[in-house]
Amino acid sequence: MNFEFDLWGWYTGTSEEPGPRTTTEAPANTSTSETEGELRANWTGAAWVDVPYEAPPAPPEPEADLRIWWMDVGPFYDRFGPDALAIAASDHGACKAVQTLTGVRKYIDLKDLRVAAMIDMLIATGQPTAQPWAPGSGPMTPAKKAAILEMPTTEYERHIKGLEG
């Protein structure tokens, strides 16, 4: 007879076959109760000892795939709505800088602090100027910034397609 234990050494039962977490030494206590503080057999690697049961730590949450926040440049500008037209038509230095610094990228990382700083530059300078031919345009606001940067990407917008998220 083989006596099994889990990754934390707690007795879990018996097995006909030996395995990587079994021993032929029988524990005196065969409880498999998961009540915190109740005595339960724990394999030390050399012997069974009765100790108060402590639940194993919860497995860590899987790390989120941060690539979910990478989006293609075109869909990034789509999030600006009518402000995208006003930025594209502007001769203001802040608008030109945003166009240049985002236009040369393969993708936009919405969590990149430099992207947030570019939008903050538009807010600080009151850009883009509202244009009558682009109703609803100008100037950038913290609420518009949040709508652009804080909404998770859709499959259409994503630089890498097929990510879970």
Q: Is residue 161 part of a domain?
A: no
Residue 35 included in any domain: yes
pLDDT at 135 over 80: yes
* pLDDT tens-place string over residues 98-109: 999 999 999 999
Residue 158 located in a structural domain: no
Residues 26 and 95 both lie in one domain: no
One domain for residues 98 and 132: yes
Over residues 77-134, the pLDDT tens digits come to 999 999 999 999 999 999 999 999 999 999 999 999 999 999 999 999 999 999 999 9
Report the percentage of the chain scoring pLDDT > 70: 99
Residues 6+ apart with CB under 8 A from 117: none
Count of structural domains, the chain:
2
- Listing DSSP states for 6-49 in one string gives -TT-BEEEEESS--TTEESSPPS-------TTSEEEEE-SS-EE
Question: Does 97 lie in the same domain as 27?
Answer: no
Of 17, 44, 56, 50, nearest to 3 by C-alpha is: 17
Please report, rounded to a whole number, the percentage of residues in the chain having pLDDT higher than 90.
89
In a domain, 165, yes or no: no
Quick one: 80 and 36 in the same domain? Answer: no
In this structure, is residue 18 part of a structural domain? yes
Pick from 52-56, 57-61, 117-121, 158-162: least confident: 57-61
What pTM value is reported for the model?
A: 0.63
The DSSP secondary structure of 62-106, one letter per residue, reads PPP-GGGGEE-HHHHHHTTTHHHHHHHH---HHHHHHHHHHHT-S
Q: C-alpha angle with apex 28: 27 to 31, nearest 5 degrees?
A: 80
Q: Is the predicted pLDDT of residue 165 greater than 80, yes or no?
A: no
CB distance 152 to 163 below 8 Å: no
Sign of the C-alpha dihedral, residues 150, 148, 125, 103? positive
pLDDT of 16 above 70: yes
Question: The domain containing residue 99 runs over which residues?
Answer: 66-149
Tell me what pLDDT residue 64 has.
Answer: 80
